[in-house]
Amino acid sequence: MKLSKPSNALVVVGGWNRYIFTQDWIKRYLFPEEEFKIDMLVSQDFNAQFISPRILSKEVEILFQENRLNFNPVENNNENLDRIQEIALQLADYLPHTPVTGYGANFLFTENEINDDLINLIRPRDLEKIEQFGGLLTGEQYNRNLVLNGRILNTIIRLEEESVDFDLNFHFNIRNLVEFKAGISETSILELKQEAIQFITEIYSLELEGEDE
């Protein structure tokens, strides 16, 4: 099993003012000693209302999507996840009055060697009766909403013919950026990553390949 490069490794949901993030502001507050570039991503209908700035450094991608501020590592390693958390905490300090409602950390695992034991563990028991009833299985995706160690964990398992994806989302409800800072400082992105790894490896008896320290 491999840990895939996450899409939206960290997401903070709120009323972000994308117009604050000018070249000068980013240079002054986020990347004073680093090279970066800003791209403007336009919606397919070319509606200016949905132009989304994307900030890209050598370590981190920051992307605005409606009311979501998304952070992605350029390379999938622990150092870049740490850098994402550092930048997010800086933004919470520089823009403390931004209204926010939640944040989440996302991790995607892919297993390319599936066997009957794994399939039977994932697949619900009603499938055989559904097929007997005349139902034809055309796709398998299983969503679960859990509470794990006092935290909300949403899981999506996509079972394909030759692979299975485990998409894990840790979700946190917050009322302000003070609560965001407290929450992510108490349980870091890397700690959530390790919790996600433990969840997948212990429940589904899989081994993680190529994990960096």
pLDDT tens, residue by residue, 99-155 = 999 999 999 999 999 899 999 899 888 888 998 999 988 889 999 999 999 999 999
User: Does a structural domain hold residue 101?
Assistant: yes
Report yes or no on 213 lying in a domain: no
Q: Which of 116-125, 152-161, 166-175 has the lowest mean pLDDT?
A: 116-125
Would residue 212 count as lying in a domain?
no
Mean pLDDT of 46-68: 82
Residue 1, Cβ density class (10 Å: 0-12 exposed, 13-18 middle, ≥19 buried): buried
**HSE-up (13 A, CA, CB side) for residue 39:** 8
Task: Using the predicted structure, report yes or no on whether residue 213 has a pLDDT greater than 50.
Answer: no
The mean of the pLDDT values for the chain is 91
CA 53 to chain centre: 19
Predicted confidence (pLDDT) at residue 46 exceeds the cutoff of 80: no
Mean pLDDT of 76-93: 96
Instruction: Decide if pLDDT at 55 tops 90.
Output: yes
pLDDT at position 211: 64
Residue with the larger pLDDT of the pair 174 and 120 = 174
What is the distance between the alpha carbons of residues 53 and 102, in angstroms, rounded to a whole number? 21
Residue 53 near residue 45, CB atoms below 8 Å: no
**pLDDT attached to residue 139:** 87
> Average of pLDDT values for 27-35?
95
Q: What are the E-state strand segments in the chain?
A: 2-4, 10-14, 36-41, 52-57, 60-65, 68-73, 100-111, 140-148, 151-159, 164-173
How many domains is the chain partitioned into structurally?
A: 1
pLDDT at 212 over 60: no
DSSP structure class, residue 189: H
Would you say residue 211 lies in a domain?
no
Q: Give pLDDT, residue 144.
A: 96
Mean pLDDT value of segment 33-60 = 78
Does pLDDT of 43 surpass 60? no
Task: Specify the pLDDT at position 4.
Answer: 86
- Whole-model pTM? 0.90
The H or E element containing residue 119 is: helix 116-122
Give the domain extent around 92.
2-204
Amino acid at 15: G
